[in-house]
């Protein structure tokens, strides 16, 4: 993944690569928020994180992990 990011950055410049990556992030987070809202869980989207009530942490993390994989991104959610 990092090699593809570096290659894209070299071919198109850092601004274009950053825009592409941000678009993917927004798509993922939008899908997560829609899924959670459908379950009655409401979150606050701050940069690349979601803030939620403590009682909803596990559901939010599981939802994020599921949807990020559906978008082809291999990462995991970190709870803080």
- Asked if residue 80 has pLDDT above 90, the reply is no
Q: For residue 22, tell me if it sits in a domain.
A: yes
Whether residue 76 lies inside any domain: the answer is no
In this prediction the pTM is 0.84
Q: What is the pLDDT of residue 47?
A: 83
Task: Tell whether 58 is covered by a domain.
Answer: yes
Split into its structural domains, the chain has a count of 1
> For the chain, what is the mean pLDDT?
92
Domain extent for 54: 2-70
Average pLDDT of span 64-76: 91
Give the C-alpha separation, 9 to 11, whole Å.
Answer: 6
Q: Identify whether 77 is part of a domain.
A: no
Please check whether residue 9 lies inside any domain of the structure.
yes
Q: Does 79 fall in a domain?
A: no
Q: What percent of the chain has pLDDT over 70?
A: 100
Helix %, strand %, coil % of the chain (to 5):
65, 10, 25
Q: What is the pLDDT of residue 35?
A: 98
Q: Is 20 contained in some domain?
A: yes
């Amino acid at each position: 993944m990092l090699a593809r990011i570096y290659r894209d950055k070299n071919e198109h410049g850092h601004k274009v690569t950053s825009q592409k990556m941000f678009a993917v992030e927004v798509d993922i987070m939008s899908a997560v928020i829609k899924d959670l809202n459908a379950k009655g869980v409401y979150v606050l989207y701050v940069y690349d994180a979601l803030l939620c009530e403590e009682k909803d942490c596990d559901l939010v993390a599981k939802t994020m992990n599921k949807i990020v994989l559906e978008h082809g991104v291999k990462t995991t959610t970190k709870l803080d």
